[in-house]
A and B are shown apart, each in its own frame.
Chain A
Amino acid sequence: MIKIEKSEFGTFIRDLSAEYKLFAPVGEGRQSAFREVSSADQMNTSIQMTQNSPKTVFLPQTEVLFEFNGDDIQSGEKAAKPMFFWGVRSCDARGMNLLDKVMGQSKQRPDDPAFQDPYWKARFDNAVILTLACHEPASTCFCHWTGGNPFSKEAGDLWAVETETAYLIEPLSEKGKDFVKTLSGYHTASDKDKQEIKTLKKQAESCLRPAVDAKILKEKLPKIWDDPLWDEVSAKCVNCSACAFICPTCYCFDIQDEGKKDKGKRFRTWDCCMFPIFTKEASGHNPRSLARERVRQRVMHKFNYFWETYGESLCTGCGRCIRVCPVNLDIRDVAKQLLEAASAV
């Protein structure tokens, strides 16, 4: 484990930004996001969680797939310079691994590039992600419901803990190991440092509130698919997409063409299952015409459908949806209500 003293941090970041396109938390409150930085003073190192997840860099809201001008067709931009992500929380790092299961890998045909998204892969495979342990989970955090932990080492290429005077870094993946080899002139973490990590981890875990095991939710949800309770839990939802658009794991998109017959572009842009038009068919029929059906879809996708396909929950418990929901539809309350109803069946 490498120790970077805070007095060395400025140099470390400057060196990093020379080698990589460096992304880190920038800004405060609702304006905060992962943005490109070139020095430590541009970063917000004290932020618990950015409003926008790093998803916005890997799967941008809008992305040109190709442009054409007459017979000249140019494919969309793919990342060239390697990227480094500093300060990703474990919920977001796990979220990116989940997205990679959909965009970067193919469960059925893992070696067939036709089933991999080249735009996603160009970024994700070309990025080093540093997962920064989360000292003070917010009251909205529930990563531990979904198998996560504020000090989880499950996702990312590097894992770091901020102590009072330093950042302690250890590799998690092959990419991480390669990165650590490039670092020289730094100290190694002492036993005292490692003891401090244990204390910090305990403190972080003490911030977490009682959990519901998302796995039980996965098993029980199908039992109440038709339950009138969905009317009740969806009653206050106004069907905007604030929850989905700030979610680190919502990945649905629409494909659109813009332009004229000899010049134009095809792009994809985030879409959301909360919108009525999301499922509207050419005939005019809409299989999910009611708010109840759309809320159910989102909950089922997060806690059951994705699990059926990929063996994990699609929610990593970051709690962003709870923070931004304009009507305070708290997914934890919904889960508890549903679980209670399912247990009674």
Chain B
Amino acid sequence: MIKALREEVRRLFEEKKVDLVIGWGKGSLPMTATPVFIHKAEDVEQLIWDETCSNNLAVYLTKDKRQLVQTNQKIGIVVKGCDGRSLVLYAVENQIKRENLVIIGVPCNGVIDKKKVLKQTEGKEVLSARFEKERMVVEGRGFKTEITKSDMLSRSCIHCNHPNAPVYDIFIGEPINTDSDVAVYPDVEAFEKLDCETRWKDMVESYSQCIRCYACRNVCPSCYCTECFVDQNDPQWIGKSPEITDTLIFHLNRNLHVAGRCVECGACERACPADIDLLRLNRKISKEILERFNFTAGLDIDEKPALASFCENEKQDFIMG
């Protein structure tokens, strides 16, 4: 698989179809991949693809990195299903020129969340990790253990039903077959069943851990405002300290700003240094939007976003009571 990926990318450079390819390379730590920027055919050996390639690379086409797109260079980008959905979102929202992108799909069976692995090893550092189909053998000082894939999958991957990029130019290997492309939200349903007081208490406890580092926002492909409202100071919309009221304003606003746009890649949750359940509310909103508008973000370039269009036959019970 990796060999095929490298060969395809080499071909793209040789045929002068790309100026730059964004993909994943081997990271400096076990179980860790890192984004790499390939500028020439000789460097394709840096590329890898496996369960550790968790970053959503679409993020490098917007925000601070917008100049990559603005220079009109041809960019190749390696994408999982969710990253590919982000590219569809960008096309719908006029952030990229589709013709300037060469989208390279890879079949994704889910990526791991290192935080979950650390829980399995009870905080002990993993010094080496080896994947064997549905499990990973991890070793550290004085221990060796096997972790099954389901115990370390990123939460975003557990219920994922879009493992392949919806739009691509090249696909490496075979797209993954899915039983159904209808999203399921058992995790959200469990949260919905709790009473209001418990949900609120749970949220306040969880978000109180936030240190306002904005890693969640900065790795989020859907959060690409040129200037985020929390960075504005004239007027200043929000207090800067991690006081719970302000922290909740930040997170809830972010949830609303990405409503109907979140591709549920889980990058926010994996990036969080405070281990907050950041994806839960995003998935709750995605579920609402699916039920009310039969819409899923990032699947169809020609479909108008649910919250930017109106149909007469939409459910209106939230207005009428």
Interface, chain A (partner B; CB < 8 A):
28-32, 47-48, 51, 61-62, 136, 138-140, 232, 235-236, 238-242, 244-246, 254, 256, 258, 267, 269, 271-272, 275-277, 280, 290-291, 322-324, 326-330, 332-333
Task: From known contacts A31-B209, A236-B34, A239-B218, infer whether A327 and B55 are also in contact, taking CB-CB under 8 Å.
Answer: yes
B242 touches A61 (CB 8 A): yes
**B243 contacts across to A, CB distance below 8 A:** 62
Partner of A242, one of B30, B267, B271: B271
Instruction: Identify which of A30, A267, A330, A333 contacts B273 (C-beta below 8 A).
Output: A30
Please name 10 further chain A to chain B contacts, defined as beta carbons within 8 Å, in addition to the given A61-B242, A238-B218, A330-B27, sorted by A numbering.
Answer: A31-B209, A62-B242, A245-B213, A258-B239, A271-B240, A277-B231, A291-B64, A326-B55, A327-B34, A327-B55
Whether B125 and A139, one on each chain, are in contact in the complex, defined by CB atoms closer than 8 angstroms, is yes
Task: List the 6 closest A-B pairs by CB distance, nearest first.
Answer: A326-B271, A240-B215, A328-B34, A62-B241, A330-B28, A328-B27
Asked if B185 lies at the interface with its beta carbon under 8 angstroms from chain A, I say: no
Min C-beta distance of A48 to chain B, whole Å: 7
CB distance from B109 to the nearest CB of A (A): 21
Whether A236 lies near B35 (C-beta < 8 A) is yes
| A328 to B242 alpha-carbon distance, docked (Å) | 25
**B218: which A residues are within 8 A, CB to CB?**
238-240, 326
Which residues of chain B have C-beta atoms less than 8 A from A324's C-beta? 215, 273
Interface centre among B30, B59, B211, B273 (most CB of A within 10 A): B273
**Shortest Cβ distance from residue A62 to the other chain B in the assembled complex, whole angstroms:** 4
- Grouping DSSP codes into helix (H, G, I), strand (E, B) and loop, the B interface class, with mixed when no group exceeds half, is loop
Note all chain B residues with C-beta closer than 8 A to A277.
231, 233
Q: A28-B122, A29-B119, A62-B241 are in contact. Are A240 and B209 (CB under 8 A)?
A: no
CA distance A313 to B218 in the complex (A): 28
CB closest residue in chain A, given B125: A138
A286 nearest CB across to chain B (Å): 11
Q: In the complex, A138 Cα to B121 Cα: how many Å?
A: 15
| A31-B275 contact, Cβ under 8 Å, with A138-B125, A245-B213, A330-B28 | yes
- Residues in A whose Cβ lies below 8 Å from that of B273: 30, 51, 242, 245-246, 324
Let me know if B214 is at the binding interface, CB within 8 A.
yes
Residues 24-37 of chain B: 1 if any A CB is under 8 Å from the residue's CB, otherwise 0? 00011110111111
Given contacts A256-B240, A327-B34, contact A238 B219 (CB under 8 A): yes
**Chain A neighbourhood of B35, CB < 8 A:** 235-236, 327
Q: A136-B141, A322-B29 are in contact. Are A29 and B215 (CB under 8 A)?
A: no
B301 interface hit (Cβ, 8 Å): no
Q: Which residues of B contact A272 (CB under 8 A)?
A: 213
Q: How far, in Å, is A13 (CB) from chain B's closest CB?
A: 21
Task: Indicate if the CB atoms of A240 and B271 lie closer than 8 Å.
Answer: yes
Residues of B participating in the A interface, judged by any CB pair closer than 8 Å? 27-30, 32-37, 55, 59-60, 63-65, 115, 118-119, 122-123, 125, 127, 141, 209, 211-215, 217-219, 227, 231, 233, 239-243, 267, 270-271, 273-275
Q: How far is the CB of A166 from chain B (nearest CB, A)?
A: 21
Question: Given A240-B271, A245-B211, A332-B28, A275–B231 Cβ distance below 8 Å?
Answer: yes
The 28 sampled A-B contact pairs (Cβ below 8 Å) are A29-B115, A29-B119, A29-B123, A30-B118, A62-B242, A136-B141, A138-B125, A139-B29, A236-B35, A238-B215, A239-B64, A240-B271, A246-B211, A246-B273, A254-B240, A256-B239, A272-B213, A276-B227, A277-B233, A322-B28, A322-B29, A324-B273, A326-B55, A326-B218, A327-B55, A328-B29, A329-B34, A330-B28
Set of chain B residues within 8 Å of A322, measured between Cβ atoms: 28-29
**Residues in B whose Cβ lies below 8 Å from that of A28:** 122-123
Residue of A nearest to B271 (CB): A326
Question: Chain A residues with Cβ under 8 A from B241's Cβ?
Answer: 61-62, 256, 267, 269
Chain A contacts for B115, CB-based, 8 A: 29-30
| B270 proximity list for chain A (CB < 8 A) | 326
Which chain B residue has the least Cβ–Cβ distance from A294?
B64
Taking CB atoms, residues of chain B closer than 8 Å to A138 are 125
Cβ of B80 to closest chain A Cβ, rounded Å: 16
**Which residue of the partner chain, among B33, B141, B213, B239, contacts A241 with CB atoms under 8 Å?**
B213
**A31, B283: Cα distance in complex, Å:** 24
B58 to chain A: closest CB distance in Å? Answer: 12
CB distance from B74 to the nearest CB of A (A): 17
- State A136–B65 Cα separation when bound (angstroms): 39
Q: Is the CB of A241 within 8 A of B125?
A: no
Q: Which one of A30, A62, A241, A258 lies within 8 Å of B214 (CB-CB)?
A: A241
A28 to B65, CA, bound (A): 35
Give Cα A262–Cα B51 distance, bound, in whole angstroms: 57
